[in-house]
């Protein structure tokens, strides 16, 4: 799917073309911009198209600002924990667009900032295009598909600082993999890939050192220290984050396992504990589900015969972080589950639950 797509304008729509009953519907993205969605498609496919259309609107309307955060991750060829529901634009100055002025229908509508911190966040979360005000250097802006976008290094830094910890590590893992040229099979080039990742890590750490005391730097340092170019999915990244955040020894990503059937690379593993974790996503089964399932079962038997316990988690299970943590604590030796938690990698909700 294209990362930037041509949006549908209100002036291009005839009343008879608004939707096909039972199959499609017309969704308003922002003023004068629409998406005709095929309701038979997967929800994530519709979300991807929506994001591409919003980027197309930014380009078509010549909106002032630099595309950043998770939108920039996708434009750099990376992955995000979920498809962004908005586009983040970075500008060096405030504008009336940040003030949420009254409308003709609601002349008494209060400004976003007058609603307080939680109300302000709620209003911003509903906007399809959100503007942020801070300065970027000329070397921190590149052009991708006709859009001005934060450089890969600046995108990684911003995501690590400003996104919630779960989304931050998923984005960081993905970006460092792109920068290191990991690709889908990094195993044969592991030393080279990890050396490139180490160079990027040092570069971002230097940038963070210049921002000591600023918002999000503590979390960003933890994210940059934890990121790896070897993660093959955002759910592997999330599972590693949960381990670190709750004091479980971090698993080895893409852990090699020698078996009678050959060498396999487990998604995550603890060699000392003889434990392997595989994270299954729907994407694995899109092309030929039956063949993929047979290969998966054969691989799992081979790894089990080599003396490893194999646990499988779905993305839905990984989303239930407390359940996953309890399950791993039940399988790993106690000495591997009682380490110091990296609290900076916990989300706000996880910190509240922990008290």
Q: Band of the pLDDT at 40, cuts 50, 70, 90?
A: confident
pLDDT in tens, 331-355: 999 999 999 999 999 999 999 998 7
Cβ–Cβ under 8 Å, residues 193 and 227 = no
Contacts of 38 (CB under 8 A, 6+ apart): 23, 24, 46
Which pLDDT value is given to residue 284? 47
Which pLDDT value is given to residue 33? 77
- What span, in angstroms and rounded, lies between the C-alpha atoms of 198 and 229? 10
Which pLDDT value is given to residue 97? 47
Which pLDDT value is given to residue 285? 44
Domain range summary for the chain, segments of one domain joined by +: 234-354
Query: Residue 236, CB half-sphere, CA atoms under 13 Å: how many?
Result: 25
Mean pLDDT of the chain: 87
Which pLDDT value is given to residue 287? 52
Contacts of 127 (CB under 8 A, 6+ apart): 86
Give the lowest-confidence range in 80-94, 107-121, 273-287: 107-121
Q: Band of the pLDDT at 108, cuts 50, 70, 90?
A: low
CATH of 234-354, one of 3.40.960, 3.30.360, 1.10.287, 1.10.530: 3.40.960
């Amino acid at each position: 799917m294209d990362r930037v797509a041509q949006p549908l304008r209100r002036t291009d729509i005839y009343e008879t073309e608004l939707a096909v009953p039972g199959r499609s519907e017309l969704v308003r993205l922002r003023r004068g911009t629409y998406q005709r969605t095929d309701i038979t498609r997967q929800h994530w496919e519709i979300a991807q198209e929506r994001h591409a259309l919003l980027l197309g609107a930014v380009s078509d309307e010549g909106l002032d600002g630099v595309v950043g955060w998770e939108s920039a991750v996708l434009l750099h060829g990376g992955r995000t924990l979920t498809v962004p529901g908005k586009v983040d634009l970075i500008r060096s100055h405030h504008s009336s667009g940040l003030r949420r002025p009254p409308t003709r229908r609601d002349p008494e509508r209060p400004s976003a900032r007058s609603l307080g911190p939680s109300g302000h966040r709620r209003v911003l979360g509903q906007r399809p295009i959100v503007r942020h005000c801070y300065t970027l250097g000329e070397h921190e802006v590149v052009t991708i598909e006709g859009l001005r976008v934060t450089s890969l290094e600046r995108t990684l830094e911003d995501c690590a600082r400003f996104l919630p910890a779960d989304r931050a590590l998923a984005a960081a893992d993905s970006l460092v993999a792109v920068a290191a040229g990991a690709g889908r099979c990094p195993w044969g080039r592991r030393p080279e890939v990890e050396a490139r990742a180490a160079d990027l890590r040092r570069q971002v750490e230097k940038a963070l050192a210049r921002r000591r005391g600023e918002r999000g730097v503590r979390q960003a340092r933890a994210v940059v220290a934890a990121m790896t170019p070897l993660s093959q999915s955002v759910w592997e990244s999330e599972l590693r984050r949960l381990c670190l955040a709750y004091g479980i020894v971090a698993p080895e990503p893409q852990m090699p396992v020698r078996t009678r059937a050959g060498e396999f690379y487990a998604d995550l593993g603890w060699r000392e504990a003889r434990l392997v974790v595989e994270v299954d996503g729907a994407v694995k089964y899109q092309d030929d589900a039956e063949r993929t399932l047979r290969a998966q079962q054969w691989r799992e038997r081979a790894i089990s015969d080599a003396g490893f316990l194999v646990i499988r988690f779905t993305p839905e299970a990984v989303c239930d972080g407390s359940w996953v943590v309890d399950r791993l604590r039940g399988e790993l030796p106690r000495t591997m589950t009682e380490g110091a938690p990296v609290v900076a990698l916990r989300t706000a909700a996880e910190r509240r639950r922990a008290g």
